[in-house]
Amino acid sequence: MKSVGRTHVGMRREQNQDSILLLVDCGVFAVADGMGGHRGGQVASRLVTDGISRAVLGLQSQIDAQALAEILEAVNQSVHEAGLANEGLRSMGSTCVLVHVDPETVHVAHVGDSRLYLLSSEGTALLTHDHRAIQPMIDDGLLTAEESRHHPLRCVLTRSIGVDAGVSAEASARDWNRGDRLLLCSDGLSDYVVEEEFLAVARETEDLELAGDRLIEMANAAGGDDNISVILVEND
């Protein structure tokens, strides 16, 4: 298995409120996109990735999609309690897409709108479902992908980690094969670059390091209005 991670502040933000996690030996990867004021988002996303790391390294049982969901739900409580304990961090939160892979299966749990794509010889598949206010309109065909990128409610989340005392993480599993790739990304990529374009780069650029760099460059070339985070994993 090969992997690479990249995170960048973008062109317009003063702070990078994204955090990425690559526990390569455990086959665990995560992208968290924080929110909540000048400090809150940065703190929230780091609490998420740190909490995941501790939970995974302390886990005695097999890691599957349900275990990942339970980790995110426990991390949610920790982030929420940290916000309550510090007035300056009140209402901070984060998205997260959390993945565990073995040679045959991809397990994923997520909260919010950070995404996971599977890139294979058969095409591409989005393995997560955005927890956004506009998502039902997209699902019902009332809003196109292009229209959603400019919709005034595009940033309104229906689920996030840390804002409320409890959250339900969405979990699933999918087979993958040798040569397939995964792309985890924050909305700093998916909201600002045409999906077909960034997926083509992620799929067709042979060198993973170069692919990661190009994805960051694409988002910045599109304006770099948000922090940008990507992780690429290849079933080698």
Encode pLDDT of 159-210 as tens digits.
999 999 999 999 999 999 999 999 999 999 999 999 999 999 999 999 999 9
Percent of the chain at pLDDT exceeding 90: 84
Q: Which two tokens stand for residue 232?
A: 């690429």
The residue type at 196: E
Nearest to 190 by CA among 151, 170, 214, 218: 218
In the prediction, which pLDDT does 38 show? 67
Instruction: Measure the CA–CA gap between 209 and 81, rounded to whole angstroms.
Output: 37
Pairwise CA distance, residues 98 & 100, whole Å: 7
pTM exceeding the 0.85 threshold for the entire prediction: yes
Please tell me the distance from the alpha carbon of residue 46 to that of residue 21, in angstroms, as a whole number.
9
- Beta partners for 124? 119
215 phi and psi angles, rounded to 5 deg: -65, -40
DSSP category for residue 26: G
With H, G, I as helix, E, B as strand and everything else as coil, classify residue 165.
coil
Write down the pLDDT at residue 152. Answer: 82
Give the confidence band of 144 by pLDDT, cuts at 50, 70, 90. Answer: confident
Quick one: CA torsion of 67, 68, 74, 80, rounded to 10 degrees? Answer: -170
Distance CA 166, CA 160 (A): 10
- How many other CB atoms are found less than 10 A from the CB of residue 24? 12
Residue 33 binned pLDDT confidence (cut-offs 50, 70, 90):
very high
Q: Is domain 2-234 in CATH 3.60.40.10, yes or no?
A: yes
What are phi and psi for residue 175, nearest 5 degrees? -70, 150
Taking residues 15-42, report their average pLDDT: 94
Q: Report whether 114 contacts 45 (CB < 8 A).
A: no
Residue 167 confidence (pLDDT): 98
Q: Which two tokens stand for residue 68?
A: 């990942």
- Three-state secondary structure readout of 117-136: EEEECCEEEECCCCCECCHH
Environment class of 170 (CB within 10 Å of its CB; exposed 0-12, middle 13-18, buried 19+): middle
Q: What is the pLDDT of residue 42?
A: 95
State residue 151's pLDDT score: 85
97 pairs with which residues across the strands?
31, 110
Which pLDDT score is estimated for 77?
97
How much is the pLDDT for 198? 98
Share of the chain above pLDDT 70, in %: 100
Identify the sign of the CA torsion 185, 188, 190, 193: negative
